Amino acid sequence: MRKISAKEEYACLAALALARRHGRDEPIPLREIAAEDGIPERYLVQILLQLKGAGLVQSVRGSTGGYRLARPPHRLTLGEVIRAIGGSASPLPQPLGPGGRALAQVWRAIEQAEWSILDQTTLAQLVPPEDSSDWVI
């Protein structure tokens, strides 16, 4: 079973913040993303640069700049976000003896199931649809 690092958690939270605002014209300022989920700004800058480098987010410069998703939330998974910031399989200890080899098979199966869930879970699935009662016509 893998342990989710703070960096992975923050990357997923930032991606979800961008997913909630997907489709709006203006990019989301870094400070707004950081404040929404209590992510340290200096750490968030590094995370967003990695997500940008992986092609998952886009940045817009200037006084009205910020970040936005590079793809619609239904086409972006948690697995992609975690891999983009360096998350990967946790190294398993070298199994010793028949019991250790049997357990290693179970640990690998659990890890594969976890990645399967992460790769099948899109950002859109985790973002509630907009409430139409908030719309102004």
Contacts of 104 (CB under 8 A, 6+ apart): 92, 93, 95
pLDDT tens figures, 103-126: 888 888 998 999 999 999 999 999
Q: Which domains does the chain have, with CATH numbers?
A: 6-127 (1.10.10.10)
Mean pLDDT of the chain: 89
Task: Give the integer Cα–Cα distance in Å for 102 and 90.
Answer: 18
Of 103 and 72, the one with more pLDDT:
72
For residue 60, what pLDDT is reported? 93
Of the pLDDT bands very low, low, confident and very high (cuts 50, 70, 90), residue 61 is very high
